[in-house]
């Protein structure tokens, strides 16, 4: 019985109210449909960091037995250089795990899931983790800009202990131009939105569902839910209505809380629905983009004991709307800056040095002295406590801790200011000095409980530099 | 074997500290070095070796990168010159090394020069840029000089329950002292209210909690004590020297560090007090020039130098005891806070200032009856500390 064993999601802390976008651009004529908020990745997030956070939730920071990682995104930080391998390193998969990047279309997430399922069924990997994550940018002032939401979802696929069995899957592919981005494009491109909708989404989603029904011999009466990529409200509602079985589309597409979640859209909606799904329910998960994927799932008894581990509702609540439109543009590098802007800096870097330390930087291993038992970070040949040489062994550090001290720096030339630096004492030992993120300055206190999250520190020589930042534990 | 009383400082000089836009590194080095030689009554040919302290040559187009800068700017050719860099403690460490060299008998007359030209570039381009661009690619990224000390202030506030108002009083005192010092970068008195309302730099430190970015140079000429009188009647003796280093860049990762007091200062002070045979520093030291790069640092220095018990340093400033006419005058010069902090020059400037008080040359800021004075220099995140004790012969 192969299927989904666990799920994890990451919804950025910041949510941007669409009503503000209406005001910023004077688009009062759209006020009636510009409802709710969109999730906005912080300045230090990208699809990889969001994916790592979701993946660590899916595997509960224990990647033992996961033999493949498939990373799906239409907006991966690197075009060449594997985002999947980078994610795998931070999630701490072993180096013999299979990794692959899925990209180029919105259905990359569901395609990665089908591939994982195939690999598990074939017996070539025991468990695979699928990560889907996007930060999609539309042209400023174009209405789709504020429809897009940033988030990531992940799931572990395996043979045993599944919460939702994957019973079957079908796919369609088609050459179709509804939304696209060339390698040289900064923003998504659209042409005839109405044609795109009627001859794209509204055509291929019904076709793939029909194909699945034909293949499985099932009818809509046998199905409890359809969970599909949701482009925006009007098209999604039109789809539900035209399908002939609108009652199956009764799942929250999360458009008002997150927005169009790109490749993560089907999986994050599934994760949300699994918090209430009953054993035995049949769900069709639909991915769309240059064709479509349809995956038939059946919820198992295990969901009863699992559902409380899905923290999506808490993440939806733990938010801040204290973000401005100008800031979002700045974070996404959409404002022109001089080459030697005072807020840009060229930090020292060395690919050799980072490569030597990658286990410690990316997977957050520290060391513990076998003589005096001190746990410390970063690694050191000579124990900082007892002075013994080469006495320490690598240990994985906890990502939970408390603030020992902090300061909030207004002169460090970060993309976002100020920069709060914290000394965090980790559960089980080890201390790290790192930046705070997703915080309000007045909530930082000595003793504050924090969790470490994988984030982008800065760019140097065109390389993204990642490390673990602290953020307030909110639930 | 101690070198107590074996070394005499026979010549001292410093330039005006401030944004010396009309002076180059060379101008300042010449003014300080020749000033100290004239004060000692020696000429360039008498100088047998030089110790040069410059912290950051990268902001002056390479000046001070090596000993050869001494030849480039002073034309002191064909003799040994060592350039010393040990964070913000470079100046006193250069002095210390020169003392040992002279005490060994190898040289009779040695020049110590500290010079730092920081304002050929904007202040953002000097230390902040260094912090942002230097160091490990990610570990500790985000720390700046004010941040390092703000981290300790937060912890100190947490542990002892004081707040920004107490730190502000250090700034108010040092600006008052600076107002009396013609060499000072800032010569204006300030109020607690002004300190508290100024922009934050690294919370909990605001603008007036921080040393400015300053140009300046200072120099001293030393010889062995037995030779001093052959040059001048106005000299002071080295009573004690101490240098200690602790964890540097990784200090805030160190699970053993309390992020409060500076162990380096405590150790350096212990060495210097032992050499100088000082048992009760609060009573025996007549004035101290300490490293108040940030207001919190001065309070920690009180404790680490033994002027107050741990956790009680803040009481000294609350009670006004460290004003120049107080029980233990600290930073009568105005300190780094008001006099300024041209990094490589600061340690040598402290020697100059303490000697000025011992020689009764300190003008309006003169500490009365000063017979024993202390200079304390601190570098990095507090990881390098030097203590020098000078006394009247």
Shared domain for A134 and A275, answered yes or no, is yes
* Over residues A451-456, mean pLDDT: 98
Instruction: Look at residue A352 and tell me if it is in a domain.
Output: no
Quick one: closest CA in B to A351, which residue?
A: B137
Instruction: Look at residue B1 and tell me if it is in a domain.
Output: no
Contact indicator for A15, A149 with CB cutoff of 8 Å:
no
For B124, the closest of A342, A348, A429 (CB atoms) is A342
Shared domain for B241 and B319, answered yes or no, is yes
**Does the beta-carbon distance from B151 to A374 stay under 8 Å?**
no
From residue B226, how far is each of B46, B102, B105, B272 by CA, in Å? Answer: 17, 12, 12, 21
Cα(B143)–Cα(B384) distance, integer angstroms: 18
* Dihedral over Cα of A352, A353, A359, A364: its sign: negative
Shared domain for B102 and B164, answered yes or no, is no
Shared domain for B132 and B147, answered yes or no, is yes
- 């507090």: which residue's tokens? B382
Task: Annotate A359-400 with DSSP letters as a single string.
Answer: HHHTS-EEEEETTT--EESS--SB-TTT--BT-EEEEEPPSE
Q: What angle (nearest 5°) sits at the alpha carbon of residue B248, between those of residues B279 and B271?
A: 15
Instruction: Look at residue A392 and tell me if it is in a domain.
Output: no
Does the structure show a pLDDT above 80 at A344?
A: no
Does the structure show a pLDDT above 90 at A101?
A: yes
Q: Please tell me what DSSP assigns to residue B45.
A: G
Q: For residue B42, what pLDDT is reported?
A: 98
Shared domain for A171 and A313, answered yes or no, is yes
Quick one: closest CA in B to A455, which residue?
A: B138
Instruction: Look at residue B175 and tell me if it is in a domain.
Output: yes
Shared domain for A308 and A421, answered yes or no, is no
Q: For residue B249, what pLDDT is reported?
A: 86
Shared domain for A146 and A289, answered yes or no, is yes
Q: What angle (nearest 5°) sits at the alpha carbon of residue A254, between those of residues A250 and A255?
A: 110
Cα(B106)–Cα(B224) distance, integer angstroms: 11
Check which CATH number belongs to the domain holding B108 and give it: 3.40.47.10
Instruction: Look at residue A247 and tell me if it is in a domain.
Output: yes
**Does the beta-carbon distance from A407 to B203 stay under 8 Å?**
yes
B160 touches chain A (CB under 8 A): no
Shared domain for A172 and A309, answered yes or no, is yes
Q: What are phi and psi of A241, to 5 degrees?
A: -70, -45
**Does the beta-carbon distance from A410 to B205 stay under 8 Å?**
no
For residue B290, the enclosing domain spans 126-211+236-391
Contact indicator for B98, B51 with CB cutoff of 8 Å:
yes
Instruction: Look at residue B59 and tell me if it is in a domain.
Output: yes
From residue A257, how far is each of A15, A37, B261 by CA, in Å? Answer: 8, 5, 48
**Per-residue burial over A182-192, b = 16 or more CB atoms within 10 Å of its CB, e = otherwise:** eeeeebbebee
Closest CA to B225 of B241, B238, B210: B238
Task: Annotate B134-176 with DSSP letters as a single string.
Answer: SSSSSTTTT--HHHHHHHHHHHHHHHH---HHHHHHHHHHHHH
Domain-ending residue, one of B182, B199, B228: B228
Cα(B324)–Cα(B233) distance, integer angstroms: 26
Cis peptide leading into residue A418 (ω within 30°): yes
Shared domain for B292 and B222, answered yes or no, is no
Q: What are phi and psi of A339, to 5 degrees?
A: -60, -45
Instruction: Look at residue A209 and tell me if it is in a domain.
Output: yes
**Does the beta-carbon distance from B202 to A385 stay under 8 Å?**
no
**Does the beta-carbon distance from A409 to B150 stay under 8 Å?**
yes
Cα(B374)–Cα(B28) distance, integer angstroms: 25
CA B354 to chain centre: 11
Q: For residue A267, what pLDDT is reported?
A: 98
**Per-residue burial over B301-327, b = 16 or more CB atoms within 10 Å of its CB, e = otherwise:** bbbbbbbbeeeebbbbbeeebbbbebe
Shared domain for B247 and B386, answered yes or no, is yes
Shared domain for B132 and B243, answered yes or no, is yes
From residue B292, how far is each of A284, A337, B123, B377 by CA, in Å? Answer: 68, 37, 18, 9
Cα(B304)–Cα(A138) distance, integer angstroms: 58
Which residues in chain A have their CB less than 8 angstroms from residue B200's CB?
408, 410, 418
Contact indicator for A306, A3 with CB cutoff of 8 Å:
no
Min CA distance, A433 vs chain B (Å)?
6
Q: For residue A338, what pLDDT is reported?
A: 79
Instruction: Look at residue B116 and tell me if it is in a domain.
Output: yes
For chain A, how many structural domains are there in total?
2
Contact indicator for B309, B266 with CB cutoff of 8 Å:
no
* Over residues A47-72, mean pLDDT: 98
B155 touches chain A (CB under 8 A): yes
Residue B99: exposed, middle, or buried by beta-carbon count in 10 A (0-12, 13-18, 19+)?
buried
Shared domain for A253 and A132, answered yes or no, is yes
Contact indicator for A21, A27 with CB cutoff of 8 Å:
yes
Min CA distance, A87 vs chain B (Å)?
18
Shared domain for B365 and B320, answered yes or no, is yes
Shared domain for A133 and A275, answered yes or no, is yes
Instruction: Look at residue A88 and tell me if it is in a domain.
Output: yes
Could you report the per-residue pLDDT of A365-385, keeping only the tens digit for each?
999 999 999 999 999 999 999
Shared domain for B322 and B282, answered yes or no, is yes
Tell me the three state secondary structure of residue A246. helix
> What ipTM was assigned to the predicted interfaces of this complex?
0.96
Shared domain for B242 and B370, answered yes or no, is yes
Q: For residue A340, what pLDDT is reported?
A: 72
Closest CA to A39 of A131, A141, A146: A146
Which residues in chain A have their CB less than 8 angstroms from residue B254's CB?
376, 384, 431
Instruction: Look at residue A270 and tell me if it is in a domain.
Output: yes
Instruction: Look at residue A364 and tell me if it is in a domain.
Output: no
For residue A470, the enclosing domain spans 338-343+399-475
As a whole number of Å, the end-to-end CA separation of chain A is: 34
Q: What is the mean pLDDT of chain A?
A: 96
Does the structure show a pLDDT above 90 at A346?
A: no
- Strands B49-53 and B81-84, bridge-based pairing: parallel
**Does the beta-carbon distance from B152 to A458 stay under 8 Å?**
no
Tell me the three state secondary structure of residue B346. helix
* Average pLDDT for runs of 10 along chain B of length 393: 94 98 98 98 98 95 95 96 97 98 97 97 86 93 96 98 98 98 98 98 98 98 98 98 94 95 98 98 98 98 98 98 98 98 98 98 98 97 97 97
Alpha helices (H) along B208-307: 225-228, 263-276, 281-284, 295-304
CA A56 to chain centre: 10
Could you report the per-residue pLDDT of A244-303, keeping only the tens digit for each?
999 999 999 999 999 999 999 999 999 999 999 999 999 999 999 999 999 999 999 999
**Does the beta-carbon distance from A411 to B124 stay under 8 Å?**
yes
For chain B, how many structural domains are there in total?
2
Which residues in chain B have their CB less than 8 angstroms from residue A385's CB?
255-256
Min CA distance, A354 vs chain B (Å)?
8
Min CA distance, A376 vs chain B (Å)?
7
Shared domain for B344 and B382, answered yes or no, is yes
Cα(B60)–Cα(B53) distance, integer angstroms: 14
- Positions of B annotated as catalytic residues are 88, 341
């Amino acid at each position: 019985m192969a299927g989904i064993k666990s799920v994890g999601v990451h919804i950025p802390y910041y949510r941007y109210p669409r009503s503000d976008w209406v005001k910023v651009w004077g688009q009062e004529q759209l006020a009636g449909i510009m409802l709710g908020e969109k999730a906005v990745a912080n300045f230090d997030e990208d699809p990889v960091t969001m994916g790592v956070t979701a993946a660590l939730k899916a595997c509960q920071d224990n990647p033992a037995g996961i033999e493949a990682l498939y990373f799906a995104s239409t907006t991966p930080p690197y075009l060449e250089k594997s985002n999947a391998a980078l994610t795998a390193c931070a999630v701490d998969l072993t180096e013999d795990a299979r990794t692959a990047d899925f990209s180029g279309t919105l259905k990359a997430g569901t395609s990665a899931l089908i591939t994982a399922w195939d690999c598990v069924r074939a017996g070539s990997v025991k468990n695979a983790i699928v990560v889907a994550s996007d930060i999609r940018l539309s042209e400023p002032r174009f209405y789709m800009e504020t429809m897009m939401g940033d988030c990531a979802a992940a799931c572990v696929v395996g043979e045993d202990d599944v919460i939702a069995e994957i019973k079957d899957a079908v796919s369609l592919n088609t050459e179709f131009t509804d939304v696209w981005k060339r390698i040289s494009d900064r923003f998504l491109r659209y042409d005839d939105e109405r044609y795109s909708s009627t001859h794209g989404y509204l055509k291929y989603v019904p076709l793939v569902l029909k194909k699945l029904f034909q293949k499985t011999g099932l009818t809509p009466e046998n199905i409890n839910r359809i969970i599909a990529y949701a482009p925006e409200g009007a098209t999604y509602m039109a789809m539900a209505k035209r399908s002939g079985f609108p009652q199956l589309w009764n799942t929250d597409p999360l458009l008002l809380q997150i927005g169009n979640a790109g490749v993560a859209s089907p999986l994050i909606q599934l994760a949300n629905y699994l918090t209430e799904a009953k054993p035995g329910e049949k769900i069709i998960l639909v991915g769309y983009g240059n064709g479509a994927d349809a995956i038939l799932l059946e919820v198992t008894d295990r969901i009863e004991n699992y559902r409380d581990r899905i923290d999506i509702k808490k993440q939806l609540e733990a938010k801040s709307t204290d973000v401005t439109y100008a800031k979002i543009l700045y974070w996404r590098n959409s404002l022109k800056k001089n080459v030697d802007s005072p807020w840009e800096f060229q930090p020292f870097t060395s690919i050799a040095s980072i490569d030597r330390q990658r286990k410690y930087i990316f997977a957050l291993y520290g060391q513990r002295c076998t003589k005096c038992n001190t746990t410390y970070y970063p690694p050191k040949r000579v124990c900082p406590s007892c002075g013994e040489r080469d006495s320490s062994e690598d240990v994985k550090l906890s990502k939970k801790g408390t603030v020992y001290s902090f300061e909030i720096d207004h002169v460090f030339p970060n993309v976002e200011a100020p920069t709060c630096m914290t000394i965090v004492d980790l559960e089980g030992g080890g201390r790290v000095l790192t930046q705070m993120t997703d915080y309000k300055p007045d909530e930082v206190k000595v003793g504050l409980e924090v969790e470490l999250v994988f984030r982008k520190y800065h760019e140097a020589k065109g390389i993204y530099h990642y490390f673990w930042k602290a953020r307030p534990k909110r639930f | 074997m101690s070198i107590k009383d074996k070394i005499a400082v026979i010549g001292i000089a410093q330039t005006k500290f401030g944004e010396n836009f009309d002076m180059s590194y060379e101008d300042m080095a010449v003014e300080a070095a020749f000033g100290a030689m004239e004060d000692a009554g020696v000429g360039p040919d008498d100088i047998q070796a030089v110790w040069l302290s410059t912290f950051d040559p990268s902001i002056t187009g390479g000046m001070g990168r090596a000993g050869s800068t001494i030849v480039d700017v002073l034309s002191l050719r064909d003799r040994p010159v060592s350039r010393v860099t040990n964070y913000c403690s470079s100046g006193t460490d250069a002095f210390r090394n020169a003392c040992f060299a002279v005490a060994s008998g190898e040289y009779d007359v040695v020049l110590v020069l500290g010079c730092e030209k920081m304002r050929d570039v904007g202040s953002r381009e000097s230390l902040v840029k260094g912090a942002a661009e230097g160091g490990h690619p990610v570990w500790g990224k985000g720390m700046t000089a004010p941040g390092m000390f703000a981290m300790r202030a937060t912890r100190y506030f947490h542990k002892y329950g004081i707040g920004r108002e107490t730190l502000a009083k250090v700034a108010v005192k040092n600006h008052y002292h600076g107002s009396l010092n013609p060499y000072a970068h800032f010569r204006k008195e300030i109020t607690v209210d002004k300190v508290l309302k100024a922009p934050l730099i690294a919370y909990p430190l605001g603008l007036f909690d921080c040393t400015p970015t300053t140009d300046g140079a200072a120099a001293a000429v030393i010889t062995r004590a037995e030779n001093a009188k052959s040059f001048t009647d106005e000299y002071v003796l080295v009573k004690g020297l101490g240098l200690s280093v602790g964890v540097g860049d990784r200090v805030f990762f160190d699970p053993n560090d309390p992020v409060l007091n500076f162990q380096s200062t405590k150790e350096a002070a212990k060495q210097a007090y032992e050499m100088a045979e000082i048992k009760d520093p609060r009573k025996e030291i007549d004035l101290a020039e300490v490293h108040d790069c940030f207001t919190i640092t001065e309070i920690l220095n009180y404790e680490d130098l033994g002027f107050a018990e741990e956790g009680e340093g803040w009481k000294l400033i609350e009670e006004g005891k460290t004003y120049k006419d107080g029980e233990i005058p600290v930073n009568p010069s105005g300190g780094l806070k008001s006099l300024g902090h041209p990094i490589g020059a600061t340690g040598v400037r402290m020697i100059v200032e303490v000697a000025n008080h011992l020689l009764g040359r300190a003008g309006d800021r003169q500490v009365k009856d000063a017979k024993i004075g202390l200079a304390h220099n601190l570098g990095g995140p507090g990881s390098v500390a030097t203590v020098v004790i000078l006394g009247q012969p």
